[in-house]
Amino acid sequence: MGIGSDFREDSWVREGVLKDIFPRLFALSSKHTLSINCFMDTQVFLHNWDFGFRRNLNERETAEVIKLLETLEGIRLCASKRDRRRWDLEDSGSFTCKSFQSFLRNKGRAETFPPFSLVWKAKSPPKVKVFVWLVALGKVNTSDLVQRKRPFMYLSPQWCVLCKLCEESVDHLFLHCPFSLSLWWLLWREVGTVWVIPKGCSDFLCSDFVVWGLGKLTSTLWGCLVHSVFWIIWMERNRRIFEDYKGVRVSDLWDRVKYWAAFWASVTKDFKDYSYSTIMRDMAAAVK
């Protein structure tokens, strides 16, 4: 490994790209788009690292630095060796179309993330679709993401405002939080199916669920229900944070979920003969 590689952007350690593994630390660094050589201070030791932090680190950030140093510990650098590109899918290190085609056929497709149908084909309003897409990508501004974007801002509290048990993240807030999970269980009971809690929101939105049966009416109402759950959870979370709102019971939120899902479905051509109150009163009968 040559010392001219980009310290932040290049994949020169086994674990991956350092700025993706330690985003908080590199947000605090004054050194951007510099080679490995610029992060090395050889005046004291051969491999003494200087990350150029703009301020003193707190306890949590110091622990991350220790992990970063452990990651760099076994790296061997050659000052006289010129940097070169290497294609890891071939033993020779040279790019071939065959190796890339094999990667796409055997591995690449399995790692893609296509929750297209459940997000963009749903009959919810455009702003709700965009929001659910951000949930799928993990880009909603939960406290953990805001903290990474603004490392100088200390958020207090950092826990989930719905359960007050764990730190808030996209997957926790919308899926694993006991409060939110209770809402999902009401949905599964409504559609008459069982499920295993997925690892994250992206996995959930990529899953195929058998609900009520097949048909256009089922597909339309199911998409509206899923979007409504995500939207209602977010609205409840924001009200509790920004409006000093004490919150309501899960059963009350479930009524809101059904209301908005039924309303969105009722304005589609699939449910043109149904009022939203009819759909809301008996969803299973509405999709028959």
Packing angle, helices 178-191 and 250-266, rounded to 10: 50
- Hey, CA dihedral for 275, 280, 285, 286, is it positive or negative? positive
C-alpha dist (Å) from residue 64 to 6, 40, 54, 67: 20, 18, 16, 5
133 neighbors 202 (Cβ within 8 angstroms): no
Neighbours of 216 (CB within 10 A): 12
Q: How many CB atoms lie within 10 A of CB 259?
A: 16
For 62, the enclosing helix (H) or strand (E) is helix 59-72
User: How far is the C-alpha of 102 from the C-alpha of 164, rounded, in Å?
Assistant: 47
Mind listing the pLDDT tens digit of every residue in the chain (288 residues)? 445 566 666 666 666 777 778 888 878 887 766 676 666 655 544 457 777 788 888 888 888 888 888 877 766 665 555 556 677 777 787 888 887 777 777 655 444 446 777 899 999 999 999 999 999 999 999 988 887 777 666 555 578 999 988 889 999 999 999 999 999 999 999 988 877 788 889 889 988 777 877 788 999 999 999 999 999 999 999 999 888 888 889 999 999 999 999 999 999 999 988 998 999 999 988 888
Residues in CB range of 169: below 8 A, 6 or more apart: 142, 144, 145
- Determine the Cα angle at 135 with ends 140 and 204, to 5°: 155
Of 35, 34, 31, residue with least CA distance to 3: 35
36: which 2 tokens? 């490995």
Q: Most distant CA pair in the chain: distance in Å?
A: 79
Beta bridge partners, 78, equal 2
Residues 6+ apart with CB under 8 A from 237: 161, 162, 173
* First-residue to last-residue Cα distance in the chain: 64
**Under 8 Å between Cβ of 217 and 283:** no
Tokens coding 161: 């405002």
Residue 49 has φ and ψ, to the nearest 5°, of -95, 140
pLDDT for res 181: 94
CA distance 182 to 50: 48
pLDDT number for residue 3: 53
The Cα–Cα gap between 240 and 167 comes to 16
DSSP, res 175: I
Distance of CA 98 to the CA centre of its chain: 32
